[in-house]
Amino acid sequence: MDVTFTPEEEAFRKEVQSFLAENLPKLGKTSRREFETKEDFLGWHRILAKKGWVAPHWPTQYGGTGWNVTQRYIYNEESARAEAPALLPFGLSMVGPVIFTYGNEEQKKKFLPRILSGEDWWCQGYSEPGAGSDLASLKTRAVREGDHYIVNGQKTWTTLAQYADWIFCLVRTNPDVKQQEGITFLLSDMKTPGITVKPIIVLDGAHEVNEVFFDNVKVPVENRVGEENKGWTYAKFLLVNERSGIAGVARSKKAIERLKEIARAETTDGKPLIATDEFSRKIAETEVELSALEYTELRTLAQESKGQMAGPESSILKIKGTEIQQRLTELVVEAVGYYAYPYDRFFGENEYVPGPDYAEAAAGNYFNMRKASIYGGSNEIQRGIIAKAVLGL
């Protein structure tokens, strides 16, 4: 594996850097913690869509950039370094690729351009109260009646469904066969009568996830992706993309830089924290882990450039990536010490928060990041996949 960049690739890096430098300042808010409205979430998406850079991983015929994997790597690295807002994955990285891989021509024409432009916001209707890790046991039922399915059931943990125009769902169309063989992949307009969204407030106080109820919801058969009862195949394809995307190597590299800045500013016994053996060792250990993960990611990208798509190996990226993300938020809390505490006391109040600016979000980020080892399939489940599908145990 050659990890040096060619002069052309360095020129591409410069192009990305100047685009970011010119366009990021146009956004009022860049951090997800500041986003309050749907438009806040979509600001960066719309700028990239205008430039034609919103879906670098899509085939060019559907609106991709035609970049090779190295260019995509450079683009991600530079975007994270410049702290560009992360794009929501539900349309671009989840249902979009399912539609262009398994959908029919009408579905491609109808949905893909609207995902690219940001006109349609998608959410993911996989998990149910009794079906998370054991996803194949899902019970939301779809019964065919003429040219519609009638859907009844409940989804849960549905991220940002409160803004969604569409939901992609796994539903049970045949309860009498092996679980995996009776599942269908349906697309539903969130405005359809019978769909109700109820908020779930997460540890840091944000309205990030929801319950979504289906009460006799009519979904046209034309909104079924692929074949009836073959949804498990499309569902697994989507999960591999989801897990690879969670690794977040480039963003963790930026987070380590930030942690080092904090550890330079904070002192203990009159000494910068970064100069203490204990804290610098913790940073170094995390940096080594991240470096190993980066090379694992580069290996999967090298394979991808030869036409081999990531498979169950994406579980390794997911586990290590999320462990590092969580560790980094722990180290920030440790570095800022008592200044992390006011978050809890003053959350939601309009009071002066003592301590440096970087301490304000420390506890919130720490609490929020506990989710990372659960979503996208918990890390215990990923270890099971590695044992079975990668190691053949």
Ligand X SMILES: Cc1cc2nc3c(=O)[nH]c(=O)nc-3n(C[C@H](O)[C@H](O)[C@H](O)COP(=O)(O)OP(=O)(O)OC[C@H]3O[C@@H](n4cnc5c(N)ncnc54)[C@H](O)[C@@H]3O)c2cc1C
Task: Name the residue among 347, 327, 338 with its Cα closest to residue 255.
Answer: 327
Beta carbons within 10 angstroms of residue 310's beta carbon: 19
Q: Which is it for the CA torsion 375, 377, 380, 386, positive or negative?
A: negative
Q: Which of residues 150-169 bind ligand X (CB under 6 A)?
A: 157-159
Query: Which of 319/332 has CB closer to ligand X?
Result: 319
Residues 367-386 that bind ligand X (CB under 6 A): 371, 374-375, 377-378, 380-381, 384
Task: Indicate whether 75 belongs to the interface with ligand X (CB under 6 A).
Answer: no
Task: Specify the residue, 73 or 375, whose C-beta has the smaller distance to ligand X.
Answer: 375
Under the criterion CB under 6 A, does residue 245 sit at the interface with ligand X? no
- Of 170 and 335, nearer to ligand X (C-beta) is 170
One of 12, 126, 232, 234 touching ligand X (CB under 6 A): 126
Q: Which of 78, 242, 294, 297 is catalytic?
A: 242
The token pair at 41 is 């979430």
Residues 255-274 that bind ligand X (CB under 6 A): none
To ligand X, the closest distance from the beta carbon of 22 in angstroms equals: 33
Q: Are 268 and 277 in contact (CB under 8 A)?
A: no
> Which is closer to ligand X, CB of 210 or CB of 300?
210
Nearer to ligand X by Cβ, of 273 and 317: the residue is 317
Sort strands 183-189 and 224-225 into parallel, antiparallel or unpaired: antiparallel
Secondary structure, 3-state, 195-208: EEEEEEECCCCCEE
Contact (Cβ atoms closer than 8 angstroms) between residue 125 and residue 132? no
The CA-atom distances, in angstroms, between 266 and each of 177, 332, 333, 336, 363 are 60, 11, 12, 7, 16
Residues 49, 117 contacting (CB under 8 angstroms): yes
Q: How far is the CB of 187 from ligand X (least distance, A)?
A: 14
- Asked if 93 interacts with ligand X (CB under 6 A), we say no
Rounded to a whole number of angstroms, the minimum distance from the CB of residue 359 to ligand X is 24
Clarify whether 181 is annotated catalytic: no
Nearest approach, Cβ of residue 161 and ligand X (Å)? 7
Q: How far apart are CA 308 and CA 273, in angstroms?
A: 44
For the record, the structure tokens of 124 come out as: 């993911």
Binding status of residue 124 toward ligand X by CB under 6 A: yes
Judged by CB under 6 A, the stretch of 125-133, 216-224, 242-250, 354-362 that binds ligand X is 125-133
State the number of binding residues for ligand X (CB under 6 A): 20
Residue 45 interacts with ligand X (CB under 6 A)?
A: no
Neighbours of 295 (CB within 10 A): 12
Establish if 64 lies at the interface with ligand X (CB under 6 A). no
Max CA pair span of the chain: 76
Rule CB under 6 A: is residue 366 a binding residue for ligand X?
no
The residue number with the shortest CB distance to ligand X is 132
Q: Which of residues 127-146 bind ligand X (CB under 6 A)?
A: 127, 132-133
The distance of closest approach from Cβ of residue 170 to ligand X in the complex, given in angstroms and rounded to an integer, is 8
The values of phi and psi at residue 54, to 5°, are -80, -20
d(CA 315, CA 138): 22
Tell me the two tokens of residue 381: 């489940």
Q: Under the criterion CB under 6 A, does residue 243 sit at the interface with ligand X? A: no
Say if CB 246 and CB 369 are below 8 A apart.
no
Q: Which is nearer to ligand X, 327 or 371 (CB)?
A: 371
Query: 132 and 158 in contact (C-beta within 8 Å)?
Result: no
DSSP state of 214: E
Enumerate residues 207-226 that contact ligand X by CB under 6 A: 208-209
**Comparison of 339 and 366: residue with beta carbon closer to ligand X:** 366
Among 67-75, 123-131, 187-195, 230-238, the segment contacting ligand X (CB under 6 A): 123-131
191: left (phi over 0), alpha (psi -120 to 50) or beta: alpha
Torsion, CA 227, CA 231, CA 232, CA 233, rounded to 10: 50
Nearest approach, Cβ of 239 to ligand X (angstroms)? 9
**In the window 182-211, what residues touch ligand X (CB under 6 A)?**
208-209
Task: Enumerate the active-site residues.
Answer: 242
Q: Which residues of this protein are in contact with ligand X, per CB under 6 A? A: 123-127, 132-133, 157-159, 208-209, 371, 374-375, 377-378, 380-381, 384
